[in-house]
Amino acid sequence: MIKKARFLAKEAQLRVKYIMEKDCIFCKLINGQMKANFVVETEKVVAFADINPVSDVHILIVPKKHIESVLTISREDAGDLVEMHEVAKKLVSDNKLEAFRLAYNGGRFQHVGHLHMHLLAGRSIQWSKL
């Protein structure tokens, strides 16, 4: 009976994960269901301009794997996170950014339920818009 309950719980988790990924705008961009203009694409990560920028440079760096938020990161995701930061370093170097910020949003400040990092540079950032 306990094994069946565990199986059903795991099955329910997989269904929820499937629904979240199926409806996730970032997953749709990554898998080609929606048009995207990636400025960088690696095996694990994509980067593209934010459609509502809060600074002159506002790039989103997103793992291809659907990770819901910073609160759901696991040890298995370490490679994805390292790759995100490697992409950020490349973008900073390629664009000769002398001053920049890297930021993650969470809770009610995270508007898309797929982990992403903001690379911000240029004019003063309007934090109220983040």
* CA 106/CA 97 separation, integer angstroms: 25
Going from the C-alpha of 50 to that of each of 21, 37, 45, 62, 63, the distances in angstroms are 20, 11, 15, 11, 15
Assess contact for 40 and 119: CB atoms under 8 A. Answer: no
Residues labelled catalytic: 116
Sequence-distant (≥ 6) Cβ neighbours of residue 59 within 8 angstroms: 39, 47, 48, 49, 50, 91, 118, 119
